[in-house]
Amino acid sequence: MQFDPHPSRQRPSFDWLKIVRSNLPLILFLLLAMGGMFSVYFFYSPTTAVSPQEIIAEADLEGGLWAPIYKDVAGEPATQRIAQSPGPIRIGIISGHRGFDSGAVCADGLTEAKVNAGIAEQVTAVLRQEGITVDLLDEFDPRIDNYAATGLLSIHADSCDDINALATGYKIVASTNTPSFLLSDCISQAYAVTGLHYHENSITHDMTNYHAFREVALGTQAAIIETGFMRLDRELLTTNTAPVVQGIVDGLHCFLDTVSVRQAEAGGDGDGNG
Ligand SMILES: [Zn+2]
């Protein structure tokens, strides 16, 4: 700063020079920065590029700002693919003991095989009427070996012995080879329409280690149901079978619907995994 010996003499025309001098570093910095920005601007402005005005003018001609969007389009749908592709809906129904033995037998000669067949045949008829492909299978049907379907249900009934007053109710066991809890849960819930309670205490090794669980193809959900006890639940299993058939059919609907939704979801990401 310069010392002014005459403060009373105002010389306002020189004041800006004083400001410039006192702020010289700042002004130099601003000039340099401006020069830098201009050089960057001109360096990165290609002379051949379309100007923003031209882009806007063209967009107006086309009726607005637009740009093409490119999207992957799936190829031809495959009609036959290997293992992991979900096949068409197909249900297997094993008529318990059919073609092998009689199963449990009542004192009056009523056999489990006959009870099972009555229910299995009605279930099969209802599903086929709805257009669902159903295989009605014997207990040891050769088709069960490596059987590929959406689901397989084996229909059995429980002992006709006079055990006690608690020998009533149904139970269902899912395969764990191919996790099949969707199948068993759906049927178990729908089967409540029969009014029977779930009789879990009498689940046997024959059920959990059911032969068909090991024989069907991997990916085929499988379950075995004991529809009721042939003594105390006899009426439901022989003469009043409508609720039993409805419970099983409704359960299979629940199962097939859920599978379809899951397949659609899995198919949506395009990898085709079921
Ligand atoms: Zn049986």
**pLDDT attached to residue 203:** 86
- The two tokens of residue 125 are 């008829």
CA of 140 to the centre of ligand 1 (A): 12
- The two tokens of residue 186 are 């759906």
Listed in sequence order, the residues at least 6 apart from 38 whose beta carbon sits closer than 8 Å to its beta carbon are: none
- The two tokens of residue 123 are 């279930």
Q: What angle do CA 242, 191, 106 make, to 5 degrees?
A: 65
pTM over 0.85: no
CA of 100 to the centre of ligand 1 (A): 11
Start-to-end CA distance of the chain, whole Å, equals 84
CA 110 – CA 87 distance, rounded (Å): 39
How high is the mean pLDDT in each 10-residue block of the chain (274 residues)?
53 72 89 92 72 65 62 63 65 98 97 98 98 98 98 97 92 96 97 94 88 97 98 97 98 97 77 45
CA of 96 to the centre of ligand 1 (A): 6
Question: What protein residues have CB closer than 5 angstroms to ion ligand 1?
Answer: 96, 103, 156
Nearest residue to 210 (alpha-carbon basis) of 268, 152, 170: 152
CA of 45 to the centre of ligand 1 (A): 85
Tokens 């849960």, residue located: 185
Residue 156's SS3 state is: strand
**Digit-coded pLDDT (tens) for 51-76:** 667 766 666 665 555 666 777 766 66
CA of 71 to the centre of ligand 1 (A): 55
CA of 118 to the centre of ligand 1 (A): 14
CA 120 – CA 160 distance, rounded (Å): 19
CA of 145 to the centre of ligand 1 (A): 19
Residue 93 backbone dihedrals phi, psi, to 5 degrees: -120, 120
- The two tokens of residue 167 are 């020998």
Domains of the chain: 90-265 (3.40.630.40)
Q: Which amino acid is at 78?
A: A
